[in-house]
Chains A and B, each alone.
Chain A
Amino acid sequence: MIITQYVERNGLLHKVDVRVKLLFFSSIVVLSFTTTNPLINISLIFLLIVLSFLSNIAHEFLVKIKKFGMLVLFAGIIWLFLYRFSLFTKSQASSKVILTLGPLVVDEVGISYGILMPTRILVMLLSPLLFLMTTKVKEFIEGLLRLRVPYPVAFTLGLSTQMIYHLGDEYEKIKQSQISRGLDLETKNVFKSIKNHVPLLVPLTVRALEVSEKINIALNLKNFDFKRKPRLKKVRLKKVDYFFVLLSLLLISISLLNVGGVI
């Protein structure tokens, strides 16, 4: 019933200890957040793609990247023009204007935001994705337990990653059945578009409840006991693990330099 995103392969990331992987992918996200340099974000995306190749899941990974393509492009265009109105950006009085389209002004800072924000979004989406594609739910939960996360929390987190994926699937089907009854989701009118999403949200909520109910029943059938923590075997870190720890430390140092305003 639950469709996992996990791709069974004999690849590099599959071999890395879950805790190390958590550290590594967190440090990627942190760096992406702290840097204002679009080049760093582009390098991080490149790094993720290289890792997907080394893990033998490049094909599956690239297909997912393609799916986010439109969203990212859209974000890029928005930031290109609208960064000027953002509360988070610095004043840009000195920025060189490159192009003026009626009321819209494109300047140098705008362009760098137009690249920075979408690449940042991409890193934030792709990192957890690559993690989940190379980690079994069971490993994920065990990893969290080893990090002293309380069992119910670890368990819920592990399961919710699956729920999210499953619900994405459901959402697609719901969308298709309402379009089949003439619902227009491609309308240009924003207000109409929001209103037209109501027929999607109701069934989605119902399905979400049903799916969690089913999981609950399945767990009960298996005599699952939330209070009893499974016993964990001792695991030793391998060479790859140390390599990724070092890599993470490197990424974190760059973040720190960023925050300190050195770079």
Chain B
Amino acid sequence: MDKEIIKVENLWFRYDSSWVLKDISLSIDEGEFVGIVGPTGSGKTTLVKHFNGLLKPTKGRVLINGYDTRKHKASFISRFVGYVSQNPDHQIFSQTVYEELAFGPKNFGIKDVERRVREVAKLFKLTGKLNSSPFSMSMGEKELLAIASILSFDPKVIILDEPTIGQDFVSYLELVKLLKKLNQRGKTIILISHNVDMLAECTNKIVAILNGRKLFEGSTDVFFEKKSVLKKLELPVPHKMKLVKTLRFKERLLDLDEILEWFRE
């Protein structure tokens, strides 16, 4: 599973006058769970919008599954990389949840739309709501629907841009569980988040952006060891890391289940 799915080469980008992304190079392999961190305004959203061709490099090159994003429409590149927009109200337009989930697959001309929709609905516990209106859903439900409506066309990569679900503890655990499950099934996941606990729990790789430049790219374990980098980004050490330290665990990070297991013992 070491196939490179996203490759960024010396990417420079500006909306109008000043550079927002400066000489960024990175690569993401299929099956990875990548966290992107950086202060607000550092260019995270701008960067990931290059991953499905919504934005094209001013200078440099972005290759998605081997396709140069400048040479293909965003609606084509999006087949491989699904970007979940920050506000679900920007996408919901259908009369039923079913149609909303079927929108992507239909646009991409995928066969078996019905099966896909039912599968994804089951995963998100939306089966009972397929015939109801998405406009009557709560904000949390709408956000889940937005993620589901990307997964329904089964892109190789899914990008979550600062999901606000998962901010309370219960939905946090739910989201973590769901994302890990998807990743175990082979989905490449890119998660933009300020939540160090979620990043430590889920990701195996971190890309840190500061003022439009790449500050760090490497494994999550190494990232949270780098005190100087964390300081520059004004990020706290995740609780789990503190726990690992105080309890003098093995070198490597444990995941939540392992820690719970340890407490049970």
Q: Which residues on A are within 8 Å of B, measured CB to CB?
A: 59, 63, 170, 173-174, 176-186, 198-199, 202-203, 206-207, 210
Contact string against A for B residues 74-112, beta-carbon threshold 8 Å, 1 for contact and 0 otherwise: 110011001111110111110000000001100110000
Interchain CB contact under 8 A, B93 and A198 = yes
B49 at interface by CB-CB < 8 Å: yes
Inter-chain CB contacts under 8 Å: number: 76
- Interface size counted on chain B using CB atoms at 8 A: 29
Q: Which residues on B are within 8 Å of A, measured CB to CB?
A: 16-17, 49, 52, 54, 73-75, 78-79, 82-87, 89-93, 103-104, 107-108, 135, 149-150, 153
Q: List 6 additional contacts besides A174-B90, A183-B103; criterion CB under 8 Å.
A: A176-B49, A178-B91, A184-B75, A186-B73, A199-B91, A203-B89
Interchain CB contact under 8 A, B93 and A180 = no
Contacts A/B (CB < 8 Å), 14 sampled: A173-B86, A177-B90, A180-B52, A180-B74, A182-B79, A182-B153, A183-B103, A184-B107, A186-B73, A186-B75, A199-B93, A203-B89, A203-B91, A206-B135
Interface of A is mostly: helix
Interface centre among A174, A177, A178, A181 (most CB of B within 10 A): A181
Interchain CB contact under 8 A, B17 and A59 = yes
With A170-B90, A198-B93, A203-B92 in contact, is A182–B108 under 8 Å at CB? yes
Cβ contacts under 8 Å, B74 to chain A: 179-180
Interchain CB contact under 8 A, B104 and A182 = yes
Interchain CB contact under 8 A, A181 and B149 = yes
Please name the 3 residue pairs, one residue from A and one from B, whose CB atoms are nearest each other, closest first: A182-B107, A177-B85, A202-B93
Q: Which residue of A lies closest to B49 (CB)?
A: A176
